[in-house]
Amino acid sequence: MTTLAILTAAGSGSRLGRDLPKALVELGGLPLLLHAARRLAASGVVDALVVTSPPGLVDVVRGLVAADPHVEVPVRVVEGGATRQASVAIGLGLASPADDVVLVHDAARPLVPVTLVRRVVDAVRAGHGAVVPGLAVTDTVKQVEPGPGPELVVGTPERSVLRAVQTPQGFDRTLLERAHTTGAARAVAEHLAATDDAGLVEALGEPVHVVRGDEAAFKITTERDLRLAELVLQDQA
């Protein structure tokens, strides 16, 4: 039985304000997607990778991965879809019946520690069908009625029960396939699509469990995040 990791890298990353897709932006001289691919491979618990590429860049991404001797598992590259959910569904289509566990990881989280990858896979293999890494929330979170002006607060969830979730998220393959099949209609547009795969499992009414996340697995969205990642990378060296 094997674990397949889907590495989502098809986004444009427009908030980073670069000309190229976020997954190809360099951190310490290496594209974000290669950092993530290396770490998934180095975890020792991932048997193969599927990378979802930005539109028109399949050959570029394939070339990058093929030229990297540190990605020591078989890698297939497919063009992603219009939303993250659609990209994951395309990647999942390449899973084989032998892949009993599927991880989904964002290239936008390049510095994911191998220990976190192992923790997620271990929890799935221990019998939890859907596992997400999560961190306690330090800010108080307000629920609002979204709007252009000052927004009306409609609630303050109890902070101690909130978790900010990360990737990789890990799943029993058949459960993730059922979740994507059932939620497929949402994948067509950003405002409908699930922002994480666990959300699709929750929509089925199936349990999702949280394991301890890791601050190093933070997501790169802005230029400031990228600068922070440079510092974290230096610290890890």
The footprint of ligand C5P (CB under 6 A) covers 8-11, 22-23, 52, 80-84, 87, 106-108, 221
DSSP 218: P
Query: Which residue reads 């976190």 in tokens?
Result: 116
Q: Which helix (H) or strand (E) is 165 found in, with range? A: strand 163-165
Q: Which residue is nearest to ligand C5P (CB)?
A: 11
- Whichever of 31 and 81 has its CB closer to ligand C5P, that residue is 81
CA distance 29 to 21: 15
- Whichever of 128 and 226 has its CB closer to ligand C5P, that residue is 226
Instruction: Please report how close the Cβ of residue 52 comes to ligand C5P at its closest, in angstroms.
Output: 4
Instruction: Please report how close the Cβ of residue 162 comes to ligand C5P at its closest, in angstroms.
Output: 19
Instruction: Please report how close the Cβ of residue 1 comes to ligand C5P at its closest, in angstroms.
Output: 26
- Whichever of 43 and 87 has its CB closer to ligand C5P, that residue is 87
- Whichever of 61 and 128 has its CB closer to ligand C5P, that residue is 61
Instruction: Please report how close the Cβ of residue 76 comes to ligand C5P at its closest, in angstroms.
Output: 14
| Total length of the chain | 237
CA distance 76 to 48: 8
Instruction: Please report how close the Cβ of residue 164 comes to ligand C5P at its closest, in angstroms.
Output: 14
- Whichever of 99 and 106 has its CB closer to ligand C5P, that residue is 106
CA distance 163 to 170: 17
CA distances from residue 5 to 10, 76, 96, 163 in whole angstroms, order as listed: 15, 11, 12, 23
The 10 Å Cβ neighbour count of residue 228 is 14
